[in-house]
Amino acid sequence: MKFFLCILSVFFLCACGSSERSTFISIGTGSQTGVYYPVGGAIKKLVEDVEGNHLKVSAKASRGSVQNINDVMNGSITFGIAQSDRQFQAYNGSSNWEGKPQAELRFVFSLHPEVVTLIAADDSGIRTIADLKGKKVNLGSPGSGHRGNAIAILEAASIDVETEIDAESLTVGECASMIQDNRIDAYFYTVGHPNGSITEASTGRRKVRFIPITGMDKLIELSPFYATTRVPAELYPQAIQDGEVDSIGMLTTLVTRSDTPDEIVYTLVKAVFENLEMLKVQHPALQGLTPEGMLKGGNAPLHPGAEKYYREAGLL
């Protein structure tokens, strides 16, 4: 049993001078400039602040969805934040997991919606996806969810990633300074809004704008985890805007392994759902959360510990 719990990064320690046990768990988040990182921190704070709850949470920075799913599956972390499309691909054995379905991956709940956001320098002349041809465009770091989204969108727009753009593989933390330094013309970022990197990019000397991502009907038909949405451009008043900016997006989800103890998953879910109003004020991206909405986006089976709470709460 000890070995099993170590693999999950879950350890039971006796509190000094007390018979109570503390259960240590970990959550893989994302870049410190993105939304996953503060959202993971918000979950950590909420769970640990619940009176009588003995879960102790470590929220770890990471490269994002792919790393988090892989780390969950190899036992390096207990939970991971991941885009719903990456959850779908991992469970079904496609994309980064081609031919290797992650059958033990389990869905816990959804969080904020994420929008595939395309930011371009105004002086680059980019106004549509087609204008990316011949430009220096950051797709995202290897293993990131937004890189996969960027490639899928470019392919849907009949743009050859290898030959028709000058593709970069920067982390999102580098993009704001790179676009301001004229070292890239545009970058893709799948993210909840508002976002610090995009705020930084939009408030620099070099003016930037949001580029509509449209004409994606076939992609949405083939990949049902995508849906049409809009970039909330009003959150970035210094960016150049032409009204609402159309795009596509998906949900952020929390995932774990099938063999994560039911009681751990149940305790975390109960803490989050019974203190949801407290969680929603921790970050602007979380303000629209509802209990019903948080059960959507499950592209892998629901973990039994989560299911137990949802049935008790009348959500299933």
Residues 143 and 150 sit within 8 Å (Cβ to Cβ):
no
Residues 184 and 201 sit within 8 Å (Cβ to Cβ):
no
Residue 36: pLDDT band with limits 50, 70, 90: very high
User: What pLDDT does 15 receive?
Assistant: 41
pLDDT for 16 beyond 90 = no
Nearest Cα to 138, choosing from 129, 150, 126, 149?
A: 150
User: What pLDDT does 189 receive?
Assistant: 95
Q: CATH number of 114-250: 3.90.1010.10, 3.40.50.2300, 3.40.50.300, 3.40.190.10?
A: 3.40.190.10
User: What pLDDT does 19 receive?
Assistant: 44
The label of the residue with tokens 């640990």 reads 48
Taking only the tens place, the pLDDT of each residue in 42-81 is 999 999 998 888 899 999 999 889 999 999 999 999 999 9
Domain boundaries, the chain: 2-112+252-312, 114-250
Taking only the tens place, the pLDDT of each residue in 255-305 is 999 999 999 999 999 999 999 999 999 888 899 899 999 999 999 999 999
Same fold? 2-112+252-312, 114-250 = yes
What HEC string does the chain produce? CHHHHHHCCCEEEECCCCCCEEEEEEEECCCCCCCHHHHHHHHHHHHHHCCCCCEEEEEECCCCHHHHHHHHHCCCCCEEEEEHHHHHHHHHCCHHHCCCCCCCEEEEEEEEEEEEEEEEEHHHCCCCHHHHCCCEEECCCCCCHHHHHHHHHHHHCCCCCCCCCEEECCCHHHHHHHHHCCCCCEEEEEECCCCHHHHHHHCCCCCEEECCCCCCHHHHHHCCCCEEEEECHHHCCCCECCCCEEEEEEEEEEEEECCCCHHHHHHHHHHHHCCHHHHHCCCHHHCCCCCCHHHCCCCCCECHHHHHHHHHCCCC
User: What pLDDT does 53 receive?
Assistant: 86
pLDDT for 1 beyond 50 = no
Whole-number Å distance between alpha carbons of 18 and 71:
33
User: What pLDDT does 9 receive?
Assistant: 44
pLDDT for 132 beyond 70 = yes
Supply the pTM of this predicted model: 0.82
pLDDT for 316 beyond 90 = yes
Superfamily of chain region 2-112+252-312: Periplasmic binding protein-like II (3.40.190.10)
CA dihedral in degrees (294, 296, 299, 304; nearest 10)?
60
CA dihedral in degrees (136, 138, 143, 149; nearest 10)?
-100
Residues 186 and 120 sit within 8 Å (Cβ to Cβ):
yes
For residue 192, give every residue at least 6 positions away whose Cβ sits within 8 Å of its Cβ, in sequence order, or none.
Answer: 35, 39, 112, 113, 114, 115, 252, 285
Q: For residues 191-207, give the mean pLDDT.
A: 93
Q: For residues 187-206, give the mean pLDDT.
A: 93
Tokens of 238: 């210094």
User: What pLDDT does 242 receive?
Assistant: 66
Residues 59 and 29 sit within 8 Å (Cβ to Cβ):
yes
User: What pLDDT does 142 receive?
Assistant: 87
Tokens of 265: 């998953």
Whole-number Å distance between alpha carbons of 254 and 237:
31
Strands 105-121 and 245-257: what pairing?
antiparallel
User: What pLDDT does 143 receive?
Assistant: 77
For residue 177, give every residue at least 6 positions away whose Cβ sits within 8 Å of its Cβ, in sequence order, or none.
Answer: 200
